[in-house]
Each structure stands twice: as structure tokens, then as C-alpha cells.
Amino acid sequence: MMRPALLLLATAALALAAGCGSSPPMRHYVLSAEAAPSPEPGATRVSVGPVTIPDLVDRPDLVVRAGPNRVEIAGQDRWGEPLRDAVPRVLAANLQRRLGTRFAVTEGRQAASIRIAVDIRQFDATPGAEVILHADWSVGGDKRSGQSRLREPLAEAGYTGVAAAFSRALDRLAADIAEAIR
């Protein structure tokens, strides 16, 4: 009599463990930039960095606004690379495309004639609506500086739309900085 009850209990425990063992798949998103031309020999060197990202969003999981005083962390939806790496990479590629072949744009603190520092103050996404990118930036120290306050609507639903909108916002930020360099 005891044996069938133990067998039933063990079977139920295994079934429960198997149900808990499967989780929804992880989805990963990346920021992107359009292809940029290769710089010509002797091009003016431009370095993008340092770039700071708000601690709130500098994490693997996507963070989205759920209200004025609340955020949600999308546990199954993650960035494919750290934002502290992705943002300078995409910004440098966008600047290269916008400045053309007379400039050689790199990311990081490499030797350069022109150094760009960017402090991203807000990097918010509101699902189904828009992303907001607020950044303070300087070109060559404080000689030329500016602020970019950008809103980019989501052109497609879901977190794919969020990643695409952030990519477009970073391109618009690059346009503001490129104008200051010219």
C-alpha cells in the first residue's frame, strides 16, 4: 500500500520538475548602423569615447518604461552585447558614414585629432510608442558641445521595434555631432 503512494508521489515530483525545467527562449537584440565608407589615407582621425550610459539601462536585459515612476525589466529579452560597447560602436559607424572618407572614425580612447565624449542621460523605451535618447556631447573637449534631445517612434511592434528605434536615434545623434565637426 505504501509503495504505490511513493511511486505516485515520485512521478508527480518528476512531472513538476520537468514542467519547471523548461523556460521561454531568450531573445537577443542588437543596435545597428548602415555601412560606412572606408576612410581615405591621411584622413583626420576622430575618436568616439568615452561614452557613458545610465546605470538603469546598462544591463543585459532590456529595460522599458511602464509609467512615470516604474520600469519593467524584460527578463527573456536581452541586448546581444553590452550597451557600453554597442553605443560607441554604432555611433562611430554612423559618424563615419555622415562625415565621409576625409575622416577616420574609431571608437575608444585611441590617438585622434578630434575626440568626442558623449554622456547619455536618458535611454528610455516605451513599448508600443517611442524611444527617448537625451545626450550631452562635446567635440574636442568643451570647444564645441551640445545636447541632443531625440524621440524616435517605434516603426514596428515589440522589442525588435525598440532596438531599431534606438538605432535610428543614435544615427540622429551622430548627425548632430557631425554638424558640429564640420
Confirm whether 14 is domain-assigned.
no
Domain total of the chain: 1
Confirm whether 58 is domain-assigned.
yes
Percent of the chain with pLDDT over 70: 87
Those residues whose C-beta lies under 8 Å from the C-beta of residue 30, and which sit 6 or more positions away, are 79, 80, 81, 86, 163
Range of the domain at 87: 43-181
Give the span between the Cα atoms of 81 and 79, in whole angstroms: 5
pTM, to two decimals: 0.84
Give the span between the Cα atoms of 168 and 55, in whole angstroms: 22
For the segment 67-119, what is each residue's pLDDT rounded down to a tens digit? Answer: 889 999 988 999 999 999 999 999 999 999 999 989 999 988 778 889 999 99
Spatial contact of 105 and 181, defined as CB atoms under 8 Å apart = no
Confirm whether 49 is domain-assigned.
yes
